[in-house]
Chain A
């Protein structure tokens, strides 16, 4: 909008009524270039407003679990950034089990785990995520893409190993990859 104002001014400028000397191609060319410039500036600005970023992720190492009668939880605070004026986002979690299931492989079998999300940092519990199901309507407090200034983290990613899952799994070492996809809202 701001860039359209000068184009209007130019349209009303004396240049437009100046006697032809070589035609009106010069102001038209100027207007065309100005229009291109406006589009070039406006398009990235709109796209950047939808930008999001997830960062400060760490691995989850539960070590050797000897008490199979208690749930085990590991939570970490991470950085979620949204460039929108209202910094909304959604999150989708995908495990590397069959169909994106939250399962760890190894030990001659699988070990199921749960994933929770909290839109606040330093939290030990949150909303349970389902594989490939997007949790919407989240807001972040991050002010910078890498949380280098403002709050150092803006969400919590929690991984749980339920006692029932620990008892159902064979003994051994398990590993898996959890993928988190953040989308702009």
Chain B
């Protein structure tokens, strides 16, 4: 009985297996004729990617400690996701990634970082060290803004008058600000 069932259903199973295997192969060969037409299917998946570029170093020199200092620069942020969305996280190289400048044993000087997802922005959003600012979108259409818009975001670094007044005159303060952009 079992053997009979096997004999009956084995060809059917083989046929189904063959048909299933055939569905994985979508390419079709042509037939012999005056012309012959074949088709192939092309599949590709593009991973979500972002890039930040056109960054410049920030230098505050011989600033008047009575007034706050500010440096604004237009940079390029590119994203290939739907809606060209991204988020950005800034970290300083102070203690616990604080936005501070150091000068040897002198007390560190704090600075603030602000961001806007458009170039030449006057309205910006303050960034918190280590916290992502989500929901940003860019107008850049090439990874380094080599075509399309020349820049697509605004980065602002500020030092308050209080912070400047806490710095020692003649001393040089330096720090590194790291910006991490991720696709959304």
**Residues on A close to B: CB < 8 A?**
47, 50-66, 68-69, 72, 78, 81, 83, 104, 107-108, 111, 113, 145, 157, 159, 161, 166-184
Contact = CB atoms under 8 A, between A and B. Distances in A.
Contacts of B25: 58-59
Interface of B: 25-49, 80-82, 141-143, 183
Nearest to A72: B44
Given A57-B27, A108-B82, A179 B37 contact: yes
A63 B29 contact: no
A180 B40 contact: yes
Q: Is the interface of A mostly helix, strand, loop or mixed?
A: strand
Contacts, number: 149
Given A61-B42, A65-B45, A172-B82, 20 more contacts: A51-B32, A52-B34, A55-B29, A58-B25, A59-B42, A61-B43, A66-B49, A68-B143, A83-B32, A157-B40, A167-B143, A169-B80, A172-B46, A173-B45, A174-B44, A177-B39, A177-B40, A178-B40, A182-B37, A184-B35
Contacts of A167: 80, 142-143
A60 B39 CA distance: 11
Given A54-B36, A60-B41, A166 B46 contact: yes
B46 A171 contact: yes
B30 A54 contact: yes
Nearest to B47: A66
Given A51-B33, A55-B30, A179 B39 contact: yes
A70 B12 CA distance: 47
Contact of B43 (A52, A62, A68, A108): A62
Contact of A68 (B31, B35, B38, B46): B46
